[in-house]
Structure 1
Amino acid sequence: MAKETYQSLQAQIRKLQEKAETVRLKQRQPIVASILRSMQEYSITLDELKAAQAKGVSGRKRSVGTAKPAAKAPARQVAPKYRHPETGETWTGRGKPPRWLVAAEGAGATRDQFLIAQ
């Protein structure tokens, strides 16, 4: 096997990069055609696309450099508002009511009876 030189490797890299670019351009053609069909079907204008891109609606934002997206703030803890007197189970009053509260209400109790004094 012949000894490879730096120059020969660089030449191979250039050829592969050119080939990769050619393949990438060929693969883009059907995507562009699909986008144009969708634009026609939904009467989307270039101005609408530009406005959506400016707002970041595209689903993917471009970032400059290597900046990482900001982390979400941790969910704020909410104090419980209702407590079951026998089991001590609690509920914040947000979301779907727990089964114990639904059952108690079905038996004639009111939510006010389970309020935690604050």
Structure 2
Amino acid sequence: MSRQNYASQQAKIQKEIERLNKQAQLLQSKQRKPVISGILRSMKEYGITPDEIAAAYGKTGSKIRKISVEKSAKVSVTKKSVAPKYRHPVTSATWTGRGKAPLWIIEAEKNGQTRQQFLI
């Protein structure tokens, strides 16, 4: 491949990239307009001023983080253990019947056995 051929292909690719970037920006601006209109409509409906938005926007990041940290500290989720439903007769391995079946169940089903045979 000659340098001139390489340079012309590079220039074509660069033009295509620029064209696609412009197309992406146009698409983004088209999608943003209705959202902005909706926000302005809501601001007018509730009498919210741009200054109030600016003040809330400045506080939002730290306020949200603080609230999420407080909630996560207060809420302690305790998971209850589930009693096993199935037991392997030889190895005594158990399974609750939830989630992905263990290999010993899968192998037994391949060999013609049913899960009911392993019920506790």
Range class of TM-score, shorter chain: 0.3 to 0.5
Normalized against structure 1, the TM-score is what? 0.46
Normalized against structure 2, the TM-score is what? 0.45
Bigger fraction of residues in helix: 2
